[in-house]
Amino acid sequence: MSITIFILITLYFTAKIDCLKYRYDYAYHPEIEGWLKQNIIPATWHQARLRCHLEGAELASPIDNGFLKTLKGRSQIPTWTGVHSFFSKGDYSSIEGVPLLRMPISWAPGEPDNHEDKEQCIIMMPNGTFADVCCDEMFPYICFRKKSTSVSVNVACGTVDSRYAYETRTGSCYKFHDHAQTWNRAYMTCEAEGAHLAIMDTAAETQVLKEIISEHPKTKIYGAKYDHVLVGFHDWGDAGVWTTIHGQSIEDLVHTGVINWASGEPNSGTFNGLGQSCGSIRSDGDLYNFWCHVPAAFICEKTQLSLENEGNN
């Protein structure tokens, strides 16, 4: 009897691990041993690849019959695959390196034609045939995250990304990105991680960010010309009206002592004719307006539940 119970409990927990969640927007597919996310908003091939990658996944390809069957017919319109010849024209492979000729692909009539020598990316038609097209066209796409037994979940931050650290003073998790990016690309990166560009909405949080920045001197930031760190503040390209990316007025945050503009900020210096509509802070904890198109380090902020199913909140 007790052995039966033991086996039942073991089966129960094994089953639980089998349907282990990756994140709320990814669904598990046992036949391909991984999670898929359908992205319905069309993007160029490069945008699609980047977004999947930033989400910790890759652009999905029909690398074998199991994948072909699972990916096929999920959309009424053509969909990107991860099959490309971006590195060397004509040498097609999937993102994970499977050569085109090893994939179970049947071509649509007249394809592949490398029209005008401009087609280096492969789409899948709703009926499961394929064509090469220009990578700058826009199609929906599917991201795939392979199930791996080595994944360790960062429970406090609700992500598989071990670089998010929980901070008791604010109840949020933070990740310092030491590869400089433009503000918009930084925004996209944080969103893809299920986070957002950090917002200081309490004095304690300003202090926390200040400490994080002090731990990351500019000399250790890849590709940054300035020691500014991008955060979730913006003036919508309309100098003067500053809000957080969640719509809170910065005037209110300044009035309540949560943040301070650095002396002389926001200023109106232009660079290549472009103004400073994006927010940054430095190790002094003060707020600066910064050029949106100049790459800098940035901090993403995440709550524990931001990638959970709503039913579990």
Ligand X SMILES: *[C@@H]1O[C@H](CO)[C@@H](O)[C@H](O)[C@H]1NC(C)=O
Residue 96 binding result from Ca ion, ligand X, none, given CB thresholds of 5 to 8 Å by partner type: none
Q: Which is nearer to Ca ion, 125 or 160 (CB)?
A: 125
CB 224 within 8 A of CB 216: no
Count of residues engaged in binding ligand X, rule: CB under 6 A = 5
Which residues from 109-138 bind Ca ion, rule CB under 5 A? 113, 115, 119, 131-132
Q: Which is nearer to ligand X, 115 or 179 (CB)?
A: 115
Nearest to 212 by CA among 229, 226, 196: 229
Residue 127 binding result from Ca ion, ligand X, none, given CB thresholds of 5 to 8 Å by partner type: ligand X
Count of residues engaged in binding Ca ion, rule: CB under 5 A = 5
Q: Within 10 Å of residue 196's Cβ, how many Cβ atoms?
A: 19
CB-count burial class (<10 Å; 0-12, 13-18, 19+) for 178: middle
Q: Which is nearer to ligand X, 123 or 208 (CB)?
A: 123
Peptide bond into 266 cis (omega under 30): yes
Cα-based distances in Å from 143 to 37, 52, 57: 5, 5, 6
Q: Which is nearer to Ca ion, 119 or 167 (CB)?
A: 119
Listed in sequence order, the residues at least 6 apart from 288 whose beta carbon sits closer than 8 Å to its beta carbon are 228, 261, 262, 265, 266, 279, 280, 281, 282
Phi first, then psi: what are they for 10, rounded to 5°?
A: -60, -45
Residue 113 binding result from Ca ion, ligand X, none, given CB thresholds of 5 to 8 Å by partner type: Ca ion
Does 235 bind Ca ion (CB under 5 A)? Our answer is no
Site string for ligand X, 122-161 (x = CB under 6 A): ---x-x-x--------------------------------
Residue 108 binding result from Ca ion, ligand X, none, given CB thresholds of 5 to 8 Å by partner type: ligand X
Residue 109 binding result from ligand X, Ca ion, none, given CB thresholds of 5 to 8 Å by partner type: ligand X
Which residues from 90-129 bind ligand X, rule CB under 6 A? 108-109, 125, 127, 129
Q: Which is nearer to ligand X, 2 or 127 (CB)?
A: 127
Return residues touching ligand X (CB under 6 A). 108-109, 125, 127, 129
Return residues touching Ca ion (CB under 5 A). 113, 115, 119, 131-132
